[in-house]
Amino acid sequence: MKRILNAIPALVLLLLTSNLAAQQNLTLFLMHDVPQANYVNPAVAYDCDWIIGVPGLSSVHVNYNNSAFAPNEGLRYDSSTDSLYLNFNEVITQLNNTEIVASTAHYTPLYAGFWVKDYWLSLAVSEKVTSFNTVPKAAAELAWYGNTPFVGREASLAGLRANGYHFREYALGLAHQISEKWSVGIHAKLLFGKGSVYTPNTKGGISTNALNFGLTGILDTEVRVSFPIEVELDEEGYVNNIELQEDVDWMQYMMNRKNLGAAFDLGFIYQYDEATTFSGSLLNVGLIGWKAELNTFVSDGVFEFTGTDSSTEFNSGDYIQELADSLRHQFLPKPDNNGFTTNLAPELYLGLTRTLNQHLNAGAVFYSKFLRNKVMPAFTLSANTYNYKKLNASISYTAINGDYFNIGAGLGLKLGMFHLHATADNALGFLKLENQRNLNLRFGMSIVPSCTERSKKKKSPGNKGISAMPCYHNPYKKESRR
C-alpha cells in the first residue's frame, strides 16, 4: 500500500498529461469524396464499384485531447542544470473544477466496400483502444501540495474517474439514397472486449483538522477491472499489491470472446438546394459486457488519522507510512462473478456545406462527444475540393478544449490503383508537440483496380442521352454534390 500511496502524485500527473479519449475526425467529416469519410458518416458512399483497404494498412487513427493544459505551459528550463522541469504550480492555477484528458488509437487492418444494386455495403475489422478520464482540481492539488491548502476544509475527490478499454470491432455498413434529396446509412457493430478499467464514480474527500492536523477521509469509490492481473493480499485480506500476471498468454487475450458487446452508427446527407447540403451522424451508441479476468476493489468507509503536531509534513516518510496503515483498511477486493457493463462514448456530428464553385465548397461542423457526465464540444470551419478525379483536399480551422488555434488539413490522392488518405485536425501541431492540447491523425491506403463510376452508368433525364460529369456535378441541371 505504501507503494500505491507514494505513486499517487505520479498517477494524477499521468492522468492529466497523457491519455484520455476523443476520436474526432472533424476535417474528414466533410470530405465526402474520400471513401474513408464513411467511417464518421455511414451515409457516405463511394462512386466506384468497389474498394479494398490494403491489408494491414487500411486505416490508422490516433487522437489525444487534454482540456487541462499543454505540456509547455508547465515545463520550465533550468539553465544551471541545462534541463527541463515541471512547474506544476503554474499548471494548477489554470485548472477548472474538473478536467478531461482523453486518447484513442484505432487500427483497421481489413476494410472493403462495394455496391449491391443501389446499396453501398462496407465491411471493417478494427482494434480500438480508448481511455477517458475526469480529474477534479482538488485531486491534483492534494497530490502536488499535500494537505496544506486544505487545513480546515475538505479536498473533494468527487468526479475522479479513470476509464479505459480495448476491444475488437466487426462492422457491417449499409448506405442508400432513398430520394433525390436524402441519403441514409447505418453501421451495425459486433464487439469483443479484451481489457477494461472502469470507475463508476468517486464520492467524498479528505479533510484536515485545523487544530491537530488529523485527517478524516470519507471515500465511496469502486474500481472494476477486466484484465490479466494478480492481486496480492496481506494477512488480513486487504489489497497489498497489484501487478500483471506472469506468463500472460497474449494470444489467448487477443482471441478472448467472453466480453461481448454491440453498437451502431447512424448517418444522413440531405441536399437542401442546389448549393447547400446538410449532413450528420451519431456514432458509437452501444455497450460491452465484461465477464473475463474480473477484479473489483471497493472503498466505502470512513477513516481517521491524527498527526502528531503542526510541524508534521504531509509528504514525510513516517507520516505516509502511518497514513497508509489507516488507508489500507478501507480498500478491499470484492468478489464479482456477475461482471460489469461499460458504455461506449457516443459522438455527434452535424455538418453544413455551401458550394462556392464547381470545385470548391465551404463547410462547418459542430461536434460533441459524451463522456458519461461530461460533454466535450468542438467546432470546425473548412474549405473542401470536389469534382477532381485524382485529388481531394481540405483545409480546416478547429476550436476545441479551450484551444482556438488548430489548423488542419486533409488529403485524398489517387495514384493509379492505389488511393491514399491522410487527415489531421491540427496538422501544424506536429511541428511543436509540446504546445498542443489536441492532436489527431488518420491515414491509410486502399486499392481500386478499376473504377466504373456509377454516375456514368446512368443517363440524366433531359440531357439528350449525354452522360453527366462523374457524380459530383450535373451541368445540365446545375445540381451540386456535397
Reading the chain (482 residues) residue by residue, the pLDDT tens digits are: 333 333 333 333 333 333 333 446 899 999 998 999 999 999 999 988 899 999 888 999 988 877 767 666 666 666 777 776 667 777 777 777 777 777 889 999 999 999 999 999 999 999 999 888 877 877 777 767 766 777 777 777 787 888 899 999 999 999 999 999 999 999 999 999 999 999 887 888 878 777 766 777 787 888 899 999 988 887 777 777 788 888 889 999 999 999 999 999 999 999 999 999 999 999 999 999 999 999 888 886 777 765 444 444 444 445 556 655 666 566 678 877 788 999 998 999 999 999 999 899 999 999 998 876 678 889 999 999 988 888 999 999 998 867 788 899 999 999 889 999 999 988 887 777 666 677 788 999 999 887 776 655 554 443 333 333 334 334 334 444 44
Distance CA 310, CA 213 (A): 6
Q: Are strands 438-447 and 418-424 parallel, antiparallel or unpaired?
A: antiparallel
Question: How many residues comprise the chain?
Answer: 482
Distance CA 170, CA 189 (A): 6
Distance CA 267, CA 38 (A): 9
Consecutive H or E run containing 397: strand 391-400
CA nearest to 65, candidates 98, 26, 24, 112: 24
Largest CA distance in the chain: 96
**∠ CA 459-30-105 to the nearest 5 degrees?**
125
pLDDT at position 392, please?
92
Rounded to the nearest 10°, the torsion over CA 334, 335, 337, 338 is: -30
Phi-psi region of 150 (alpha: psi -120 to 50; beta: other; left: phi over 0): alpha
Distance CA 324, CA 322 (A): 5
Burial (CB count <10 Å: 0-12, 13-18, 19+), residue 96? exposed
* pTM for this entry: 0.80
Phi-psi region of 27 (alpha: psi -120 to 50; beta: other; left: phi over 0): alpha
Three-state DSSP state, 394: strand
What's phi and psi for 242, nearest 5 deg?
-130, 130
How many Å from the N-terminal Cα to the C-terminal Cα in the chain? 58
pLDDT at position 242, please?
82
Contact in structure between 99 and 134 (CB atoms under 8 Å) = yes
| Structure-block grid coordinates of residue 329 | 483498511
**CATH 2.40.160.40 segments of the chain:** 2-451
Positive or negative, the CA dihedral 310, 313, 317, 323 is: positive
What type of residue sits at position 379? F
Three-state DSSP state, 161: strand
Task: Provide long-range contacts, Cβ within 8 A and 24+ apart, for 401-407.
Answer: 401/65, 401/66, 401/67, 401/100, 401/376, 401/437, 401/438, 402/67, 402/437, 403/70, 403/436, 403/437, 403/438, 406/438
What's phi and psi for 168, nearest 5 deg?
-105, 140
At the second CATH level, the architecture of 2-451 is: Beta Barrel (2.40)
Q: Where are the alpha helices (DSSP H) in 273-385?
A: 317-327
Contact in structure between 155 and 104 (CB atoms under 8 Å) = no
pLDDT at position 400, please?
81
DSSP letter at 293 equals: S
CA nearest to 321, candidates 63, 4, 96, 80: 4
Contact in structure between 86 and 75 (CB atoms under 8 Å) = yes
pLDDT at position 5, please?
33
